């Protein structure tokens, strides 16, 4: 992963939410349950700017990654998967 510094420690969703309040978080090789809900992961990047996090996600071209938002989305916000 060229130039990307990935955190060694796996963080739970609760830990991510407390450390990166109202930020977009890029996780590399996240642990998921059988419904693919993210349980924990290693932080590769975080920012208040969603587009910056998505740009970072495509740089190393990871095989498996997740992008989470740790705040409350504004009312009438839609997420497309």
State the distance between the two ends of the chain, measured CA to CA, in whole angstroms. Answer: 24
| DSSP secondary structure code for residue 74 in this structure | P
In a domain, 6, yes or no: no
Chain centre to alpha carbon of residue 58: 13
In a domain, 74, yes or no: no
Please check whether residue 16 is in contact with residue 43, taking contact to mean a CB–CB distance below 8 angstroms. Answer: yes
pLDDT tens digit at each of 81 positions of the chain = 445 677 778 999 999 999 999 999 999 989 999 999 999 999 999 999 999 999 998 876 778 999 999 998 878 777 776
Return the pLDDT at 76.
76
In a domain, 25, yes or no: yes
In a domain, 4, yes or no: no
**pTM score, two decimals?**
0.82
* Residue ranges making up the domain that contains 65: 11-69
In a domain, 17, yes or no: yes
Read off the tokens for 2.
């060229």
In a domain, 33, yes or no: yes
DSSP 13-32: HHHHHHHSTT-EEEEEEEEE
In a domain, 81, yes or no: no
Which residues, at least 6 apart from 81, have a Cβ–Cβ distance to it below 8 Å?
A: none
Return the pLDDT at 25.
96
**Number of structural domains found in the chain:** 1
Return the pLDDT at 1.
47
In a domain, 78, yes or no: no
Return the pLDDT at 72.
87
């Amino acid at each position: 992963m060229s130039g990307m510094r990935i955190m060694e420690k796996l963080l739970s969703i609760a830990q991510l939410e407390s450390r990166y309040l109202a930020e977009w978080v890029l996780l590399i090789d996240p642990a998921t349950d059988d419904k693919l809900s993210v349980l924990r992961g290693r932080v590769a990047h975080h920012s208040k700017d969603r587009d910056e996090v998505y740009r970072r996600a495509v740089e190393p071209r990871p095989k498996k990654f997740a992008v989470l938002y740790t705040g409350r989305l504004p009312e009438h916000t839609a997420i497309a998967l």
